[in-house]
Amino acid sequence: MKAMDRIGFLVGVFAFAMAGIYAWWTNSAGYGTEWVGVVGLILGGLLGFMNFFVLMVFRRQLDTDPSDDPLGEISDIAGEYGSFSPHSWQPLFLAAAAAVCFLGLAVGWWLFIIGAFFAIPALIGWTFEYWKGEHAL
């Protein structure tokens, strides 16, 4: 996992460097800076740094990661790592509601409101599906 978070860091550094070079290059052409590409590269760099941060935090939570051992065997990775969501229908309902919302942006706001009406309960259900006990939904 150490190699994976280093790759995320390198992607972030590369994308930020390319954003600077791209801004300079497009500005030197005489037409002004082309901001869509610059913002896209900055967002790509932020995504790389986000991957770096998340993988670094998970690597610190695990005792040892078998993928970091150069002499490790495939059988060292056997077993469960992490926590996985249970069988849930909420992402399907949320995706359908999001599709209706995005269709509503093209068709009309009335359809967006209908999609939001279905998206809110799906989002709440997905957020609280791990809750158990007397305060469960």
At 93 the pLDDT is 94
**What is the distance in angstroms between the CA of the first residue and the CA of the last residue of the chain?**
36
What is the maximal distance between C-alpha atoms in the chain? 66
Q: At what angle do helices 35-61 and 2-28 cross, to 10 degrees?
A: 170
**Over the chain (137 residues), what is each successive 10-residue block's mean pLDDT?**
85 96 91 92 96 88 73 76 71 95 94 95 86 64
pTM to 2 decimal places: 0.57
What is the structure's pLDDT at 74?
Answer: 77
pLDDT score for 5 = 83
